[in-house]
Every structure is written in C-alpha cells, then in structure tokens.
Structure 1
Amino acid sequence: MASGDTSGFRLPAGLPPGHVTPCAAPALWLSDEPVTTPATWWARCQQQARETGLRPVLYSWPSPPDHPQLPDDIPESQLDADLERAWRSYRTRQLRRQELPVRADELPEGVTPWEDDPGPPHDQWPGLAPAGLATGIDYPDDTAYLAVEKLTAGHHGLRGAHLGLVPATRSSDIPAVMGWRCEAPRASLCNMLRSWEGRFGTRVVALQGATLHVSVTRPPRTLDHAVHLALEHVLTGADNINDGTTPFPVYAESLVDNHLWSFWWD
C-alpha cells in the first residue's frame, strides 16, 4: 500500500514508501524499508503529531501486530497498589535467593553470578519514586530527539530502523496501540510508562525486537533518588535488570543523569 493511501490516517506529506499493517486495530503505518537518517524522520513526524494524531517510533525487525488496543481500552490501574503487590512477591523471592544463592547453571551461558549483590535496599514497599526535577529547558520532545540521535548513531543497531506511525494519544501507549510483540505485560507496562511520562518526562522512542527504548527528560539527579526509582524498573520484570548480570547498586547508579532507559524481555 503506498504511503499516499491513508486508510483512515492523516499521514504527513512526503513519507517514504510504506503501508498500513494488516490485522492492526486501530492501525499502524510502517515504512516498507529501513529509513535513511531515521532521527530526521522521527523529528519531522513528531513535529506534526498534533496535526496528524500519529506518534512516530523507530522499529527494528518489525513483526505482525499482536492484539493491538485502542488507547481507551488499555485498562487503568492503581499503580502504587499494583507495584506494592509486585514488591511483596519480589521481596519473597529476594529473601529466598539470599538463603539459596543462584547456581552458575541457572544463569545465561558465560555469566558469572554476583554473589554480593544486595538487591534493592528496602524491607517494605517505599511507594512511587518522586518526580524528577527539571533543570534548564524542559522539553521532552527535544530530549527524545537527542535519544533517537544517540540510538541511531551508536552501537545500538537502530541505524537501519523502519519508521512507524502510531495513532496513540500519548507516547506511553505506543506499545499497546501498535500491538508490539514482547513478553512484557503490556497493559501494566503502559500504566508504568504513563506514570513515568508525568514524573520524568519520558517518551517511547524506539522498539528493537523485544527491547524498548525510552527517553527521559528529568532523570534522577542523586543516587538516593535513583535507588528508589530503580526498584520500579526491577518490578517491570525486564530481563536485562532481573537476569543476575548487573548488581542492583550498579544498575541504580547508572540511572543518575541518564536520559535514555532501555528494557528488554526475553
């Protein structure tokens, strides 16, 4: 289907050849081939998002949609209460791990367990992390563009990404609306992303197989704040945080002043 065939979309002018994916509701426009200068394409479409109602996302290795949802159909949750329940379950497993350390054969091949990883330093659920503080100019779209530039210029493998346009009301709904195929619990993930969007100025900017990349306008500035927030990252269930390869204190420290968060689910 040519890029000029909107099929219900109000597409930006001058797009590369693309198509509306079948079996997607409400719909997803996707470029037929990886785009050159993907950061430029992302910025151009983001600038027109209010007019078109379409939010851009870079998409490597696209696959057929998996049960896409309308934004209004994504169930709202009491995030704090849901995370507290998840924390209680996680804490039980954490205490069990401390009593029975992980064996080397339970980790991915070639990975040595961190026997001294203390995990999150909480004996009870601490509540949601406070919002990040703005410093200087607070423009989430500008931060997102810089994150996209970083992802497409470095070793992340997104230089050859397709351009996707998603009719999502907000950036945090992109994974559910486009029917992103992953092992993550999409509804609870979108509620987490909605909360981060308000507290930290996040934007979903790219999907790379089972990896989600999120730009962050107001990241934690102190280690204490990062440790509090890192617990929420743990409770997403993302494998890159929970597979035993990075000690919790090291991961938490990596969030300080970090404007790009990445999560993957095996």
Structure 2
Amino acid sequence: MSVPCPIVLPVSDQQLFPAELADLFEDGAGARTLSVPLPAGRLVNTDEGDGPPGLWMTKEAAAAGLWVEVHAEHHRSGLWPLLLEALHDDEEFRPWGSGELSLKRVTSPDLHDPADVLIDWWDEYAHSDDTTAPFQRWPGLAPGKPPAIDPDEVACEYATRLQSWSPSMRLGLIAADRGADALAAAGWTGPLNHTNDTGEIVTVLRSWEDRFGVRVVGASFADLYLSVAAPPATLEEAIHVAAEHFAFCPDNIWQNSHPHTLIGYAERLVKRTSWSFWWD
C-alpha cells in the first residue's frame, strides 16, 4: 500500500523552531521552522564530547508516522529523520543512547569519488571468481535511471514498514542537507570493520541517491536501511548493482545471501524498493 508523504502547509511566523534542536546547527535556529510536535527526547553527544551534539533522539519508541511527518518538513527544518535501532535491544540503546559515535572518524565526503572508493574496496575483497562471477574485474559504476515514483514517497512507505517490523525504533534528528550526509553528521561508525571512515560510505550513498533515488531511512549499530525509487528492473541490471553492493558491504553476499554469489544476490535486487546492509 502506498504511503504518500503528507502535504506541508505554510508555517506562520508564530511557529518557532524547538530551542533544543537549534544546538544541532552551527548558526542556531536561524529561519528554520518545525511544526511537528515532538515527544520527549534528548541531544546525544559523540565520543569526543567536545563538539556539537551529533543528533537529537526520542527517549522512547517513535510513534507510527512520526518519521513521515518530520521528513515532509526537512526542506524548512534542515533536520533529516532517521529511524534508530539498538544493538540487540540493548538497554543503553547502543550506539545512539551510549554516544558511541565519532566525528573524528569521518572525513568530508567531498574528498572522495564514489567510483574510486568502490574499486578500491572491490580490489581488496574480490578474491573469488566463483563469488563475483560474471565479473573478474571491477565493472564500473552501474548506470542510473530516473525514478518512476517520487523517491520521498517510496521513503515514506519504507519507513512505515520498518516501524511495523521493529516497533522499538526511536526517531533521530540530524542537521543535514540530505540523508546520506546525516550519517556523517551524526558520527555513525557502523561499517567500522569495513572502513574506519564513514565519509567513504557517505560518498557512495550520495551517488546512489542520485542514480537510484535512494533515501537513507534508518540505521542500527552496524545496519543500514535504504529506500530505493529506481531499483534495477532486470537481472542484467541487478548484477551490475550487486557488484557495487559487494564492494560496499561484502558481508551482504558472504553471510546474508544464499547462495553466496553475486548472481544469487542480484536475483533479490530486481525491482526491490529497499536495500539493507549489515557489516559484521
């Protein structure tokens, strides 16, 4: 069932930006507005503890539909919503509640090229022709295509599904221009065993946003949840995308796919409007 994003009505001058959230921005609230009533929450500092907070997080599970409402106002609030999941329902709500976040591990995504990042990872991990067939060498970036559906509408639908599957998810708000950048701004280090620089992850996600209509919807300790408005439509297209996924997160093929091959994994990507990743 399609879940359209809500229509955003004009905001009156009397509707102010929550003072606590202004601390997420270097320039404070500025002209930003947010009309969505928020539940109780708190700012979360990174491991370094000496910089601005990485995000604001609800103290309890997010109400159904809250992600959708806040996302609809991103253009005027500057806040990107993330559905946050804890590590094995940890009482501290790790890594978010415990502040296991690090801005020092994040270089600027602008310093990286997605094609260069992915080929470096491919060369490091693609050691078995049986796994990566039909590709022995890096095939290059998969061609993108215009989405037939509004990417934000697909994101709203996926967020609704995620919350129904994992009702304990909390809502995080991050000062970011786009979803990919929210992970860097929060200091998320989920792929630490794959790369110790989340900036590399973000530059690939930016490219997927542009080529496949991807939106970053949620994250956990080492999991990432994306909506996809322009997924591969054929197995041939999917195999090319699967090569990028292997470079980006080899564990998706090595551990989360049966058979553990690029082709077997690609079969699951055809027309699939959500991608998830897990780094061991």
Q: Under a length normalisation based on structure 1, what TM-score does the superposition of the two structures give?
A: 0.80
In 2, Cα distance between the equivalents of 1:159 and 1:127?
38
| Residues 1:12 and 2:47 are matched in the alignment | no
Which residue does the alignment assign to 2:134? 121
Q: Which letter maps to 1:5?
A: E
In 2, Cα distance between the equivalents of 1:16 and 1:45?
12
Which residue does the alignment assign to 1:80? 115
**Are the counterparts in 2 of residues 25 and 68 from structure 1 also a CA contact under 8 Å?**
no
In 2, Cα distance between the equivalents of 1:240 and 1:83?
15
Note the alpha carbon deviations across 1:134-170, whole angstroms, 9 max, x for none.
33xx31110001111221223xxx2111110011121
Q: Which letter maps to 1:42?
A: W
Call closer, same or farther: CA 1:152–1:8 in 2, change over 3 Å: same
**Are the counterparts in 2 of residues 226 and 255 from structure 1 also a CA contact under 8 Å?**
yes
Which residue does the alignment assign to 1:250? 264
Q: Which has the higher contact order (CA 8 A, sep 6+)?
A: 1
Which residue does the alignment assign to 1:195? 207
Which residue does the alignment assign to 2:81? 56
In 2, Cα distance between the equivalents of 1:215 and 1:69?
28
Call closer, same or farther: CA 1:55–1:118 in 2, change over 3 Å: closer
**Are the counterparts in 2 of residues 79 and 192 from structure 1 also a CA contact under 8 Å?**
yes
1:142 aligned residue (153, 156, 164): 153
**Are the counterparts in 2 of residues 19 and 32 from structure 1 also a CA contact under 8 Å?**
yes
Call closer, same or farther: CA 1:191–1:31 in 2, change over 3 Å: same
Q: Which letter maps to 2:34?
A: P
Call closer, same or farther: CA 1:265–1:244 in 2, change over 3 Å: closer
2:145 aligned residue (107, 132, 148): 132
**Are the counterparts in 1 of residues 257 and 265 from structure 2 also a CA contact under 8 Å?**
no
- Of residues 180-189 and 122-131 in structure 1, the stretch that sits farther from structure 2 once superposed is 180-189
- Of residues 254-263 and 175-184 in structure 1, the stretch that sits farther from structure 2 once superposed is 175-184
Offset at residue 66 of structure 1 (A): 1.8
Which residue does the alignment assign to 1:43? 68
Offset at residue 54 of structure 1 (A): 0.4
In 2, Cα distance between the equivalents of 1:169 and 1:70?
20
Offset at residue 260 of structure 1 (A): 0.5
Offset at residue 181 of structure 1 (A): 3.4
Offset at residue 226 of structure 1 (A): 0.2
Unaligned runs of 5+ in 1: 96-116
Unaligned runs of 5+ in 2: 1-17, 87-92
1:171 aligned residue (169, 179, 187): 179
In 1, Cα distance between the equivalents of 2:234 and 2:215?
21
When the two chains are superposed, the root-mean-square deviation of aligned CA atoms in Å is 2.4
Q: Which letter maps to 1:94?
A: S
Offset at residue 60 of structure 1 (A): 1.4
Q: Which letter maps to 1:142?
A: E
Mapping of 1:221-240 within 5 angstroms? 221-240=233-252
In 1, Cα distance between the equivalents of 2:116 and 2:109?
18
| Residues 1:28 and 2:55 are matched in the alignment | yes
In 2, Cα distance between the equivalents of 1:72 and 1:26?
17
Call closer, same or farther: CA 1:81–1:207 in 2, change over 3 Å: closer
Q: Which letter maps to 1:152?
A: Q
Note the alpha carbon deviations across 1:113-139, whole angstroms, 9 max, x for none.
xxxx5433112221100003433xx31
1:151 aligned residue (162, 180, 202): 162
In 1, Cα distance between the equivalents of 2:111 and 2:183?
15
Which residue does the alignment assign to 1:112? none
Q: Which letter maps to 2:57?
A: L
**Are the counterparts in 1 of residues 183 and 202 from structure 2 also a CA contact under 8 Å?**
yes
Could you say what secondary structure the match of 1:196 adopts? Answer: helix
Offset at residue 238 of structure 1 (A): 4.3
**Are the counterparts in 2 of residues 25 and 70 from structure 1 also a CA contact under 8 Å?**
no
